Structure 1
Amino acid sequence: MEQFLAFDLEQLPFVIIALLVAFTVHEFAHAYTAFKFGDDTAKDQGRLTLNPVHHLDPIGTIFILIAGFGWARPVPVNRRNFKNPKLAGVLVSLAGPLSNFLIAFLAFGLLYLVVGSAPVFAIQLLNMMVWLNVLLFVFNLLPFPPLDGYRIIEDLAPPRTRVKMTQYEQYGVLLFLILVITPLGDHTIRPFLTRMTNSVLAGFESIFGVFL
């Protein structure tokens, strides 16, 4: 069975727990921010909740366990309900990745405090929480559809540029899938994700090294 998984079997429980928390909080952050800016769409569809059942996509979850790449159920957002669609749209898109950053930051701080005194399983879980959430933070800010980074650029772009982006979005999705799924990703997205993830972790180390 292990040969079909992207993670070692002993890592699997920690991966599953970390993913449940990361995906749920990420999607809740989108829904909550949209609700605060006047869009009830996610709330009306039961997405303004921290219940993982309402946010997980079964196929996306299986994919991340098998291929190391997956997704949760996207939160529906109707930007026409925002008083300031551009600002609100950017903040709603940014809320998801920032929630993962915050989880990683808090988990890293807790790990820094308890390392050496906590049970091994707790250390392993915190390490996985840090790593997966930093990875999701960086990954979701990539400028490819349907990721949050692309939506942020889309909201900031002038109207004529947004029209062009919409016309060619399907090709962007195809390019993104090619880069993620094929070996081409070993020379493009994956090295970038590794460098950026390590940079964020080094930043955490510097911060907590000063204060703790």
Structure 2
Amino acid sequence: MPFARFSDPGYLLALAVIFIFALPLHELAHAWVAERLGDPTPRRYGRMTLNPMAHLDPIGALMLVLAGFGWARPVPVNPLYLRYGPRVGMAVVGGAGPLMNLVLAGLGIMAYRTLPQIWPLPGFAFQFLGAWVFINVGLAVFNMLPLPPLDGYRVLQGLLPPDLAYAYARLEAYGPLLLLLFLILDRQLGLLGSVLQPFYWLVFRLMHTL
């Protein structure tokens, strides 16, 4: 993955800021949208917060360190409370987290392009901004994979016709196993890298457009 170099202080700082801010904001986006759609469950379970410890998933955090993508502890949501119905409501809630990561990446691109025009930035700052953008893009794309328990599963389930959505929902029981299998295959075949590469090239062009 780009910038996945532990010798770069900017990359290490970006990882720390991701832990402290980006992952909590990702989960808070889920919680906030769920509450706006009528579900009190996230607040009841203490997830309407930016406290990183409230959202930490140890395995997801380890994956973020080792591979540059990962996940936080899912926000509990009761679909029966959600406006627009359980399927569509969960699709909206599911899409909120990756969208937050893309917003954070966009802010990083804006900073990358505008801050040097105000004052000179040291190389360390460029390392940080580059890592921040690419990690957030990676988190957004990874979480939009249509595999349970990732956000993309909920989004696709909400977009499918009811009959197909019902059949697709049967995968949820095997979600962790499917995700583990995908990650094992990715180590051998580079599946995720193939998915991420077009997005990274788009971000790279945006960061270097005058």
Give yes or no for TM over 0.5.
yes
Matched with 1:41 is 41
Note if 1:193 corresponds to 2:196.
yes
Matched with 2:77 is 77
* In 1: Cα distance, 2:134 partner to 2:157 partner: 28
1:24 to partner: Cα distance: 1.0
Q: Is the 8 A contact 2:71 2:139 kept in 1?
A: no
Q: Is the 8 A contact 2:148 2:171 kept in 1?
A: no
Q: Deviations over 1:40-59 (max 9, x none)?
A: 10011110111212111133
Matched with 2:188 is 184
One-letter amino acid of the counterpart of residue 38, structure 1: G
1:83 to partner: Cα distance: 2.6
1:167 to partner: Cα distance: 1.9
Matched with 1:161 is 164
* In 2: Cα distance, 1:174 partner to 1:185 partner: 18
1:63 to partner: Cα distance: 3.2
Matched with 1:51 is 51
Q: Deviations over 1:17-43 (max 9, x none)?
A: 234322111000000000111101001
Matched with 1:91 is 92
The SS at the match of 2:49 is coil
* In 1: Cα distance, 2:171 partner to 2:66 partner: 30
Q: How many residues align?
A: 201
Answer 1 or 2: higher relative contact order, Cα 8 Å, separation at least 6.
Answer: 2
5 Å-filtered alignment, 1:1-212, equals 7-10=5-8, 11-85=11-85, 86-115=87-116, 117-171=120-174, 173-182=176-185, 183-186=187-190, 188-203=191-206, 205-206=208-209, 209=210
Q: Deviations over 1:106-154 (max 9, x none)?
A: 1110111123712333322222111111111121112222211111111
Q: Is the 8 A contact 1:178 1:184 kept in 2?
A: no
Q: Is the 8 A contact 2:98 2:143 kept in 1?
A: yes
1:190 to partner: Cα distance: 1.6
1:195 to partner: Cα distance: 2.2
Identity %: 38
* In 1: Cα distance, 2:17 partner to 2:82 partner: 34
* In 1: Cα distance, 2:155 partner to 2:161 partner: 12
Bigger mean CA deviation after superposition, 94-103 or 49-58 = 49-58
* In 1: Cα distance, 2:69 partner to 2:145 partner: 14
Q: Is the 8 A contact 2:29 2:97 kept in 1?
A: yes
* In 1: Cα distance, 2:72 partner to 2:206 partner: 28
Gaps of 5+ in 1: 1-5
Q: Is the 8 A contact 2:68 2:135 kept in 1?
A: no
